[in-house]
Amino acid sequence: MPAISFTNITKKFGKVLALDRLSFDVQNGEYLCVLGPTGSGKTTLLRLIAGLLRPDEGAIYFDGKPVNRLEAHDRNAVYVPQQYALFPHLTVLQNVAFGPLARQKPEKEALDAAWKTLEMVRLSWRAKAYPSELSGGMQQRVALARGLASGADLLLLDEPLGALDARLRLDLRHKLRELVKQSGFTAIHVTHDRDEAMSVADRILVLRGGRIQDHGVPPRVYMRPSGIFVANLIGGANLLEGIVDTVTEEISTTRMRGGLMIRTPRAPLPTTEQPVILAIRKETVEISSRDIQRDNVLKGEVREIHFLGSFREYLIRLTNGDVIASRRFLEGMESEFKVGENVTVGFDSRDIIIFAYPRQGLRKELEIS
Amino acid sequence: MPKLDIMGVSKFYGNITAVDSASFRIEDKEYVCIIGPSGCGKSTLIKCIAGIISPDRGEILIDGEPVKQVPIEDRKIGYVFQDIALFPHMTVRDNLAYGLAVRSAGADQIGRVTNEMLDLINMRERSKSFPIELSGGAQQKVAVARAIATGSYLFLLDEPLGALDALVRAELRYELKQLAKDLGLTIIHVTHDQEEALSIADRVIIMKRGRIVEIGTPAEVYLSPKTLFTENFVGETNLLEGKVLRIEGDLCTVGIGSRAIRTLVSGRQPDERVVVSVRPEFVAITSASGADGWRGRIKQVTFLGSLNHYLVETDEGIELVAHTTTTSELDKGFHVEDKVDLVLDGKHMLLFDYPTEGLEKEIALE
């Protein structure tokens, strides 16, 4: 029995359709991340589960029981909003202990649990401080700790790491997953950061304009995204336009701008003369100054080099004018190739994901909002 | 042309030193990013340069001229911050024209520059839109263009991409950099996002508790930083406390608990207390083979797209993070509880003096 079921949930605000016939399940103990751009309906989804909003259509079930009429405080769910509302007159420790105390836990037990949770979010040293004495990032962690210590079964997190600096966020995201798993929560975590989503989630639900674009485990969503929008949102990819040229039993070829031919996978899509988008992950594109053995070997010139710490990204302009990016790890202080250098790039057909050309055009398809 | 000298600038708020004797020079057409944890003083510093806050000590010179002698409106400094501050009742075109109109430019000039700006940010077809009709990214582009339209040559950007979605942010940062290079602008860009800084800056300034910790190119601060704080701040790393056991030529052997690791580092003395840093990409995982290396058990596996992130607990109880590229032949797709061997690449380790105030305090992010 799923912990949460959405069946055909629609939610409108006036004329704006926030969620459009959403159906999905969350299993007991699952960590689900809802990923999507601003305005995609993520927070609305969370507030519906919390009972702070009512759906206009459809039903929500917890463990198979309908909860549409159940008040928020009867749902055994704790909602940690993006704007963390801490009690200003209570200390950090008292804030975190509030949930267990409200549930009639003995005081010592409640304070011990609160202290432990504060240690986990690395804030026990500020236990006696008042919220106004803390930075925004610290307040957010107190709110998170309060959720974790609440004793509810269902944890609803709206951008729980959003107010933190990037470096701290990196440290805490793995920790967050560990905490949630240890405490046995079923968790739903809303974010617009795909690295965060992949780091914490058992499964990812991708939302856009109030509709589900994809739903699955991170490797599947990354390797075989449901569409171009998802491919771009999850990790970015080279998106090249072409037209299917020939299709045989094993393979197809796609004609690119300037007549350049690319060997592409056969299944499941292409028929001859169909306009397509080829999505190629940057790390699968090899770059070399020598000849290489790949299904596709092309010539180009390095146009830009971006240093990103553990890797560099090379933007290479191919002879037909298309630009392709290659991601290279483990380079040293100097890049291996220079801007203006002529290089060979290669990639295999199995690393190409082939999509039908979007009806409304590529730019529109990729639009965030 | 513009060159900025910050000379011993300090700013105090009561007992708190927000900026502590900051000194550096920014060259003409340079793109500099300032990073550091929240509360490190980066925004205060940039506000001092903008003239919004006056420093308690020190001097700021633009082209050798003390900036405080120039009235704010004559400084030709463009300022863009996180909260997009477009006039909501004006169209994109009117927002762009505003700065010029205030400076009493002629109608011809206003029209010409505004068109140039619309082309620059590729938004001519949105010129009649109001800000609320635009996405956050588009609004921020208009804000940047508006600053450029006033003819400023020095730009101070305080978290200009901070309010945007991750994906938009990653795209816009390259557009920003390109714009700066095409127009020959000098830029100081404050961000909390190390990746943003590494990817677009010519040089990066790292701040901590009001002080400048170090300044270097992105490759320098990531690959060979001078301080432990920087090493930890600009990217994930494994930090191991140890003691130098012996030196043989270029080879330095460091004892870490009951284990010894060999590194290629010079200038160390036996018995020195050190912290060894090795980034996750330089920790290799192999199937347990009984080799004489680190052994451990996989505690957590995270798929990150182009990388797999492994958290491994060694037999000695040390937690290490290893990254492998998913396209690599070496990554066998390990699982939680798998027993593995770990190889720490001695060529890519850095050694730092053990910090006097302790490791935790040294790398604290707040």
Domain residue ranges of chain A, discontinuous segments joined by +: 4-230, 237-366
Closest CA to B103 of B145, B142, B133, B75: B75
Of B137, B222, B302, the CB nearest to A309: B222
Strand B31-35 vs strand B203-208: parallel, antiparallel, or unpaired? parallel
Least confident stretch, A313-327, B190-204, B250-264: B250-264
pLDDT at B149: 85
**Per-residue pLDDT at B2 exceeds 90:** no
Q: pLDDT band at A121, cuts 50/70/90? A: confident
Q: Does B330 touch chain A (CB under 8 A)?
A: no
Integer Cα distance of A205 and A220 in angstroms: 12
Q: What does pLDDT average to over chain A?
A: 92
Note the pLDDT tens digit of each residue in A8-50. 999 999 988 999 999 999 999 999 999 998 889 999 999 999 9
Substitution target from A310, A326, A328, A366 for chain B, most B beta carbons within 10 A: A310
Q: How far is the C-alpha of B169 from the C-alpha of B135, rounded, in Å? A: 12
Contact A165 B234 (CB under 8 A): no
Q: How far apart are CA A169 and CA B6, in angstroms?
A: 31
User: Distance (Å) from the C-alpha of residue B298 to the closest C-alpha of chain A?
Assistant: 14
Cα–Cα dist B364/B353, whole Å = 16
- Within A159-201, strands assigned E span 186-191
pLDDT tens column, B193-221: 999 999 999 999 999 999 999 999 999 99
Establish if B199 touches chain A: CB-CB under 8 angstroms. yes
Q: How far is B222 from chain A (nearest CA, A)?
A: 6
Give the C-alpha distances (Å, rounded to integers) separating B230 from A111, B19, B54, B224. Answer: 37, 18, 28, 9
CA B218/CA B206 separation, integer angstroms: 11
List chain A residues with CB under 8 Å of B219: 307, 333-334
Q: Which residues of A touch B192 (CB under 8 A)?
A: 165-167
pLDDT tens per residue across span B87-133: 999 999 999 998 777 777 788 888 888 998 898 888 888 899 999 88
pLDDT at A352 over 90: yes
Name residues 341-360 of chain A within 8 A of B (Cβ): none
Tell me phi and psi for residue B343, to 5 degrees: -120, 120
Tell me: pLDDT of A156 over 90: yes
Looking at this protein, which amino acid is placed at residue A285? V
Is any Cβ of chain B less than 8 angstroms from the Cβ of A306? yes
Average pLDDT of the residues of chain B: 89
Contact yes or no for A278/A262 (Cβ under 8 A): yes
d(CA B196, CA B235): 12
Contact A309 B198 (CB under 8 A): yes
Q: Are A55 and A17 in contact (CB under 8 A)?
A: no
| CB contact at 8 A, A256 and A222 | no
Contact present, A208 and A40 (Cβ < 8 Å): yes
Is B195 in Cβ contact with A192 (below 8 Å)? no
Q: Which of A87-96, A278-287, B319-328 shows the lowest mean pLDDT across its residues?
A: B319-328
Arithmetic mean of pLDDT, B11-21? 93
- Best A16, A35, A125, A167 member to test B by mutation, with max B CBs in 10 Å, is A167
Q: CB distance from A166 to chain B under 8 Å?
A: yes
Structural tokens at position B182:
């095409």
Which pLDDT belongs to residue A294? 95
The shortest C-alpha distance from A66 to chain B (Å) reads 34
Average pLDDT over residues B217-233: 96
Structure tokens at A32: 């689900």
Of A236, A330, A368, the CB nearest to B135: A368
Q: pTM (2 decimals)?
A: 0.90
- Higher-confidence residue: B71 or B154? B154
Q: Length of chain A in residues, anyone?
A: 369
> Please, what sign has the CA dihedral across residues A263, A264, A265, A266?
negative
Helix and strand numbers, DSSP H then E, in chain B:
9, 20
Q: Would you state the pLDDT for residue A268?
A: 65
Residues 122-151 on B with a CB inside 8 Å of A are: 135-137
CATH numbers and ranges of domains, chain B: 4-231 (3.40.50.300), 236-363 (2.40.50.140)
Which chain B residue has its CA at the smallest distance from A178's CA? Answer: B300
Whether the complex's predicted ipTM is more than 0.85 is answered with yes
B166, A193: Cβ pair inside 8 Å?
Answer: yes
Could you tell me the strand order of the sheet in which B319-325 lies? B283-287, B339-344, B294-303, B307-314, B319-325
Q: Which two tokens stand for residue A48?
A: 């519906």
DSSP classification of residue B87: -
Alpha-carbon gap, residue B287 to B333, rounded angstroms = 10
CA distances to A92, A245, A256, B184 from A259, rounded to whole Å, are: 65, 10, 5, 37
Distance separating alpha carbons of residues B42 and B191, to the nearest angstrom: 8
Chain A contact for B154 (CB, 8 A cutoff): no
Q: Is the confidence at residue A369, as pLDDT, over 70?
A: no
Residues B118 and B139: their CA atoms lie apart, in Å, by: 12
Could you say which residues from 231 to 260 on chain B have a Cβ atom under 8 Å away from some Cβ of chain A?
233-236
Cβ-Cβ contacts under 8 Å, B366 against chain A: 135, 137-138, 168
Q: Which two tokens mark A260?
A: 């350049």
Q: Supply the pLDDT for residue A38.
A: 84
pLDDT at A270: 64
User: Element (H or E) spanning A348, and its range?
Assistant: none
CB of A167 within 8 Å of any CB in chain B? yes
pLDDT over 80 (residue A269): no
Q: With an 8 Å Cβ cutoff, are A310 and B194 in contact?
A: no
User: How confident is residue B345, by pLDDT bands cut at 50, 70 and 90?
Assistant: confident
User: Does any CB of chain A come closer than 8 Å to the CB of residue B162?
Assistant: no
Shortest alpha-carbon distance between residue B365 and chain A (Å)? 7
Mean pLDDT across B72-76: 75
**Per-residue confidence (pLDDT) for residue B205, from 0 to 100:** 98
The confidence band for B264, taking pLDDT boundaries of 50, 70 and 90, is confident
Given a contact cutoff of 8 angstroms between Cβ atoms, the answer to whether A153 and A79 are in contact is no
pLDDT band at B24 (very low <50, low <70, confident <90, very high): very high
What phi-psi label fits residue B13: left (phi over 0), alpha (psi between -120 and 50 degrees) or beta? beta
Distance separating alpha carbons of residues A317 and A298, to the nearest angstrom:
10
Q: Please enumerate, as own/partner, the contacts of A83-91 that have beta carbons within 8 Å and a separation of 24 or more.
A: A84/A139, A84/A140, A84/A142, A84/A143, A84/A163, A85/A143, A86/A131, A86/A139, A86/A142, A86/A143, A86/A146, A87/A131, A88/A130, A88/A131, A88/A132, A89/A130, A90/A130, A90/A131, A91/A127, A91/A128, A91/A129, A91/A130
Helices first, then strands: H and E counts in chain A:
9, 20
Residue B207: the pLDDT is 96
A170 in Cβ contact with A113 (< 8 Å): no
Candidate ranges A136-150, A251-265, B139-153; pick with highest mean pLDDT = A251-265
* Per-residue pLDDT reduced to its tens digit, B274-322: 999 999 999 999 887 666 678 999 999 999 999 999 999 999 999 999 9
A340–chain B Cβ distance below 8 A for any pair: no
Residues 77..96 of A with a Cβ closer than 8 Å to B: which? none
State the smallest CA–CA distance between residue B347 and chain A in angstroms.
11
Arch. (CATH architecture) of A237-366: Beta Barrel (2.40)
Q: Is B168 on the interface with A (CB under 8 A)?
A: yes
Q: Which CATH number fits domain A4-230: 3.40.50.2300, 3.40.50.360, 3.40.50.300, 3.30.470.10?
A: 3.40.50.300
CA distance B238 to chain A (A): 12
